[in-house]
Amino acid sequence: MPRPRQVEASAIALRLQVAGPQSAQLLATALHVDRSSISRALTLSALAPQLVRLGTTRGTTYALRRPVRGVGDTFPVRRVDAEGRVRDWAQLVALHGGWQLVWADPGNAPAWAGHILGVGGHADGFPFFLGEARPQGYLGRAVGRALSLALNLPPDPRGWSDDDTLIYLQAEGDELPGDLVVGDVPLRRLQTCFLNPPPPLPEGERAERYPALAAASASFGTPGSSVEGEQPKFLVTLAAGDVRTPVLVKFTDVISTPTGRRWADLLAAEGHALALLHAQGEAHATPRLLDAADRRFLEMPRYDRVGLHGRRGVVSLRALHEAFGGSDGSTWPAAAANLHARGLIDLAALRSIRLRHAFGTLIGNSDMHFGNLAFFLGDTLPLRVAPAYDMLPMLWAPTPGQAAPLPTFAPVPPLPAELPLWNEAAAWATEFWQRVEADPMVSREFRARAREAGAHVTRLRTHFAGT
């Protein structure tokens, strides 16, 4: 019996909504009509305005646009460059069964685009560089609570869907990490801020103003910021003469409490770790410590900002690992080796990551998760590893019911192939522990921990020096 020659547009629409992108042949088979009937229906039907053609050859597939909560189905993505200039970069199209990225300059799509996008710019999941903007960590949860009612979102961003994240980006995406802005509303707000920037905080007022900023951040969070990590923090722009510097500031509870005292020690240790890494070209700058109103503050210039208006794109190892896959994601070096094998990073970046991981292991950084390593995200390959951050001896961080734990410090010994880099990192770690032990801003109790840890690293160096 011959197949019918006509098919209703509603039947095609339902199929695309349920099954996602489909070729004309798959649609014909599913709807029991011949392929020419599908092609004719797709050309002439009322579906045309919502229909997306993925590809231009015989293997073309078709998809249907999907409106996202009344705010549209197509979202402009702009990039802010190092000079603060804004340019069109891409359009994000919500589809039934995925997303489509349409590059503003198709002839100059990012070099990594082919690794993650299918025919016609189709992606099964939310683009990794936008999902990365979901609020994270301590500030992220505060942001979620502050915005949940206004934006009708779950209070904890860890439970957000891709659509939830897109709604957030549309509403609050003018001051996020990195260099991308999604939608017209946050872009207009950003342009207004560029023309009429809020007054910066004068350097001389840090001791007076930081405690109030810490209290506000602890109570409400900072909408628009998405800095990862569990340590409380806030963002501010400092003024020293004519120089404006955006900084990230971590802070402790009151130092007179056991928990506050331990975090004060850890922030001092983080300052030493980043100063050492900065001297080796692995960190953006040497951080500054400030004690005020019985709190300790650690201040770092933001490496994703250039001057007052310029920005740099960043993406975490977690986002890259999830986007580009890999069988081994247990450690930074293993995940980085996968990125190198795929041509996404070069040997210099891989070496840097291995060094940082070895150093972190030897200073007791037990929190080297994939959100604590980042890369600059440009349009070219290989991607450059971003400066180190959140590098501190988290093994001694306060835990519920234990403000000053005494864990066992037992770094994993190096394998023979790891020895050259391990020895280099071990020399850094030895100096790190010596600096912590000699620092008068560190408590006597934690200086004793530093002395013990430094002695342990020295024994390891002595043992493996001859192997």
Q: Are 454 and 437 in contact (CB under 8 A)?
A: yes
Phi, psi of 228 (to 5 degrees): -80, 165
Which residues, 6+ apart, have CB-to-CB distance to 297 below 8 Å?
206, 210, 214, 249, 250, 251, 252, 267, 289, 290, 291
d(CA 352, CA 360): 12
Sign of CA dihedral 300, 302, 307, 308: negative
217-239: buried (b, 16+ CB within 10 Å) or exposed (e) per residue? Answer: beeebbbbbbbbbebbbbbbbbb
d(CA 160, CA 133): 12
Q: Which amino acid is at 331?
A: T
Q: Find the catalytic residue in 156, 367, 379, 439.
A: 367
* Among 216, 253, 252, residue whose Cα is nearest residue 235: 216
The yes-or-no answer on residue 328 being catalytic is no
Structure tokens at 391: 């590098």
Chain mean position to CA 30: 41
Catalytic machinery residues: 367
